[in-house]
Amino acid sequence: MSLPAIRVSALTKRYGGLQALAGVDLEIRQGEFFGLLGPNGAGKTTLISALAGLVRPDGGRLEVMGHDVVADYRQARRALGVVPQELVFDPFFSVRELLRIQAGYFGLRADAWIDEILEGLGLTAKANVNMRALSGGMKRRVLVAQALVHRPPVIVLDEPTAGVDVELRQGLWQFVRKLNEAGHTIVLTTHYLEEAETLCGRIAMLKSGRVVALDTTANLLERFATHTLHTRLAQPQIGVALGGRADEDGWVDFAFDQFAEVEVLLARLREAGAGLQEMRLGEPDLERVFVEVMQRA
């Protein structure tokens, strides 16, 4: 049995009166595309910072590819590539110069691999452009390239598509999928839950420094999410009075678990004179799962 790509055991971290991590236990297998989700302040960034050696935990243990992050920092760091949430860059170098410097930190000359990364991320035309002249989306791509330049087996993406337009986002995910198919372990944090639902095979949800849900994406959708009956009503206030939830587009949504409940919902709307004009059924999605898990937690 192979070592886990990441192993987190009883991890704790406190900042003054704030308990950022409260005993996190987590294992991520090699080759997984894993989602790490949670509201702001849940502890995701603290956990990633601890993995990268930027934060010293108060207790517990962290391993990357079997290397202890504290005791064997050099090997643990070599096995990990982190794409940070913030746009941090050196304004005095071109894209290619920056990637060569990053490779040099690990004692590598990687010009052929740098060319491959630039091509994969759509940066070839910007290779000799100064970092200051790039758009925000292009700078974020360079951060991804920096994290990959030493060919780490484990890659952590912390909100990689924040502020990135649709075309750049699709190109990024296409490249990251190829890396995952080639055997790289990918750990993703994102507030775009549809991305996590599409990409991630397993998901952990954090709240207040604790793991409150951990399962395959399919199992989470099956266990927690409800179906939705979307209705457009002549009298939407009646639908709301009957337990529906109005959205900003004028639809009233009713949650249900069994399809037999739809007949009852429609009968109640008809008897109340709500005036059903249009309807459609919605499948469970990760956003509803997330909301339900957080409420239960």
Q: What ranges do the domains of the chain cover?
A: 6-222, 226-284
Task: Please report the sign of the dihedral spanned by the C-alpha atoms of residue 126, residue 128, residue 134, residue 137.
Answer: positive
8 A C-beta contact, residue 164 and residue 172: yes
What's residue 225's pLDDT?
A: 59
Q: How many other C-beta atoms lie within 10 A of the C-beta of residue 256?
A: 15
Sheet holding 202-207, edge to edge: 80-83, 154-158, 185-189, 33-37, 202-207, 210-216
For residue 59, give every residue at least 6 positions away whose Cβ sits within 8 Å of its Cβ, in sequence order, or none: 10, 11, 12
Residues of the chain with pLDDT under 50: none
Domain at 6-222, CATH from 3.90.226.10, 3.40.630.30, 3.40.50.300, 1.20.1440.230: 3.40.50.300
8 A C-beta contact, residue 22 and residue 45: no
Tracing tokens 């410097």 back to the chain, one arrives at 101
Tens digit of each residue's pLDDT (9 = 90 or more) over 161-206: 776 677 777 888 888 899 999 999 999 998 888 889 899 999 999 9
What's residue 159's pLDDT?
A: 85
What's residue 124's pLDDT?
A: 92
Cα 11 from chain centre = 20
pTM of the model: 0.79
Domain at 226-284, CATH from 3.30.70, 1.10.1220, 1.10.3470, 3.30.1820: 3.30.70
What's residue 20's pLDDT?
A: 93
Burial class (CB in 10 A: 0-12, 13-18, 19+), 85: middle
